[in-house]
Structure 1
Amino acid sequence: MNNLKSTITTTPPHTPEPLPDFKAPVFKDGALVLYFHPYNFYSQKVLLMLYEKNLEFTPYALDLSNGEQYSSWFLNINPKGDVPVLQDGPFIIPDSRHIMNYVEDKFRSDKHQAFKSYNFTAKEYEKLQRFDKLLAQVPVGALSLGSFIHEDLKLAPKPPFIGPVRKACIKNNEKVYELLKKSIEEAEVNKAALLRKLEIQDQRRRVVYSRVEFHKILDNVYNVLYTIETDLKENPDREWLITDKLTLTDIAFGLLLHRLYQLGFENYYWGYGKLPHVESFFLRFRKRESYQKLVPTNFEILKDMWQKTPSNYKIGAGAGVLGMAMFAAFAHK
């Protein structure tokens, strides 16, 4: 990979105002509710699966940059203060991996596409496990934030993540970091989970502001892509990673490619014939109806999801579409 020149500027710490008093939303009994953010990578994985299964659900988009994930009502749902979280009546399921397994196990019928197969061969199952492990090792949040910090990468980011928005992402990430520290100071219970999250955030900050450490992330991503490229090349007649049917592994890989594409890494990694089978996979993935619903043009996804979120429960509802704090979502897990 190309060497990176250091063009890093740091943002001075920002001391936020006290955490806003967000009110807990109320939904009808038995509703399937997804607490999420449309530009959060892990939320996107769950969203795309719900679309693939044609499930009716109520989306609730959290205002990440103003600290709604650290409000008392949300910490009662998920003490880690992370999105996404799925609520199915009385059941609360945090973490995208657990959510996707829950949804797959509960909604298996002719009406809902199945992503797990009980007919995998030993070789297919081994490959699925290996690819899942590879993809889980990619630090998507650090990759995203670092791409904004290291401007010398000569990327081709896609709207709206261009120009001043990239600087706003860095600024809002600092704000969210300070909000996390503030929430720890005010926390009366579940402080351990937030302290662990602060530790992870501290590690991420050290990595993304270091040219050497961020370069290691870029090399790790390339190794993942090259491994999958080699497998796809050896199986040119297979449509997806494991079989001809889409799996949860395909969703994870397709959305990783989508994130790289939005950040402007496509020419850095697979363009100009570098990884042609990976590129072909992404082109197939982008044609799926679920992908089109997840990533429509311009700000349609933000507008649609924000309008569907019960606005009377949100302090910042009057701020409009950008009030969703899209800027913080890229680097926030």
Structure 2
Amino acid sequence: MAFRIIRQAMPLITALHKRHFAFLFVVNQVTCISAEMSTQTGGDAKTSTNGLLLYQNLYSFYSQKVVMALHEKNLNFESKLIDITKGEQYKPWFLEINPRGEVPVLQDTGKIIPDSNRIIDYLEDNFSNGDTPRLIPMDKGPEMRQKVSHFRNIIDSLPANVITMGTLFHNELVQNPRIPFVGPVRTALANAERDSSANLRKYAEENANAKEMLLKKAEAQDKKHKTIINKEEFLKLLGQVEEVLTQIEAELGTHTGDKSNWWLCAESFTVADVALAILLERLSQVGLEERFWLNGKKPHVEAYYSRIKERDSYKKTIPTTFMFIKLIFSNPYVIGISVAALIAIIVGGVFIVRKAVY
């Protein structure tokens, strides 16, 4: 039994080791991660938050878009983390906040705003003065606004969750996936995807007020799952990603001379950049960057992504490896490994570091 647990944990050990993860440092720092998590999810709790409360999940693609936009606009906010692995978004208390059972949701005093794009637009309309910069340039003319809108729309047209889950069922299409999509996490997420429709129907029976909505979600999930597991359909979806990134590569290629430091559409960072930054991060995490832009395939996209990773809002939005370990320690069964496997991870990591040092 112990051997089997350690064997299951080894892919995670290997993945972390490949990323030069300092395990000994982790052992010393695990108790400090909660403080980092607080910083990442909403800033200093003692600072005024403008009454903004974000219901989100750290690894939700759509939550990350909103978090990055909030940081870009220098807005303080508080977070309420929703454990979507346990179906917390379908609990009666959350369905009263968002009847769709989805994150993110922004609460601004008495107002409730669901959907990532609606939230970002709300922030633009209500928080764009003084030290709060605009993400949709209003002073650069209609042509610039149309360009921003165009790129935002084509990026948002890509179903990020379907892309994410598809990579879990077609391992031959990915290379070097990153945390959190590594080792036993991949298996656990794939199993959760298979069980999602049945779980939605279970939640529907347990919650009469939301039964109709949850059953519709279950039907939609059945259709989505067929696309995910069908390799031909999934390849078509990857083809759509390729088309979008090709347009982006062409646009970035026009940024020469006095435009060499521009972002996607303008000198300033826009909503299109928020959408593109989180898309590239997700594609990289699931192991698709070699397919789409590395090794000279799209050098402008590659350079752009490198710049993005140096941006303060990116660093505050994307969970760190330490935060990932914190998640495992706080609830290891979320990703399908036991405490014994955690010990194996730490022991294995310490052994690797000791071997490297001595």
- TM-score, normalised by the number of residues in structure 2: 0.74
Structure 2 distance, partners of 1:302, 1:102, is: 34
- Helix, strand or coil: the match of 1:87? strand
Aligned mate of 1:287, from 296, 310, 320: 310
Q: Structure 2 matches for 1:75-224, cutoff 5 A?
A: 75-224=95-244
Structure 1 distance, partners of 2:103, 2:201, is: 18
Letter in 2 for 1:280: A
Aligned mate of 1:254, from 277, 282, 296: 277
RMSD over equivalenced CA pairs, Å: 2.3
Indicate conservation of the 8 Å contact 2:188/2:335, yes or no: no
The number of equivalent residue pairs is 286
Question: Shift in Å at residue 326 of structure 1?
Answer: 7.0
Q: 1:179/1:30 Cα in 2 relative to 1: closer, same or farther (>3 Å)?
A: farther
Aligned mate of 1:321, from 323, 330, 333: 330
Indicate conservation of the 8 Å contact 1:132/1:249, yes or no: yes
Letter in 2 for 1:266: E
Is residue 276 from structure 1 mapped to residue 276 from structure 2 by the alignment? no
Q: Structure 2 matches for 1:25-64, cutoff 5 A?
A: 31-64=51-84
Letter in 2 for 1:244: E
Indicate conservation of the 8 Å contact 2:155/2:244, yes or no: yes
1:270-322 CA deviation, whole Å, 9 max, x = no partner? 0011101111111111111111112253132784xx7xxxxxxxxxxxx8434
- Helix, strand or coil: the match of 2:321? coil
Q: 1:53/1:302 Cα in 2 relative to 1: closer, same or farther (>3 Å)?
A: farther
- TM-score, normalised by the number of residues in structure 1: 0.80
Structure 1 distance, partners of 2:211, 2:251, is: 44
Tell me, which stretches of 5 or more residues in structure 1 are unaligned?
1-28, 307-318, 328-333
Letter in 2 for 1:229: E
Q: 1:214/1:275 Cα in 2 relative to 1: closer, same or farther (>3 Å)?
A: same
User: Which residue does 1:67 correspond to in 2?
Assistant: 87
Indicate conservation of the 8 Å contact 2:148/2:271, yes or no: no
Q: 1:45/1:166 Cα in 2 relative to 1: closer, same or farther (>3 Å)?
A: same
Indicate conservation of the 8 Å contact 1:51/1:290, yes or no: yes
Q: Percent identity?
A: 38
Letter in 2 for 1:247: T
Question: Shift in Å at residue 157 of structure 1?
Answer: 0.4
Q: 1:194/1:45 Cα in 2 relative to 1: closer, same or farther (>3 Å)?
A: same
Structure 1 distance, partners of 2:118, 2:298, is: 31
User: Which residue does 1:26 correspond to in 2?
Assistant: none
Indicate conservation of the 8 Å contact 2:136/2:148, yes or no: no
Flag the structure with higher helix content: 2
Question: Shift in Å at residue 138 of structure 1?
Answer: 0.6
Tell me, which stretches of 5 or more residues in structure 2 are unaligned?
1-48, 337-358
- Helix, strand or coil: the match of 1:93? strand
Structure 2 distance, partners of 1:63, 1:324, is: 12
Letter in 1 for 2:69: M
User: Which residue does 1:330 correspond to in 2?
Assistant: none
- Helix, strand or coil: the match of 1:219? helix
- Helix, strand or coil: the match of 1:132? helix
Higher relative contact order (CA 8 A, sep 6+): 1
Q: 1:296/1:68 Cα in 2 relative to 1: closer, same or farther (>3 Å)?
A: closer
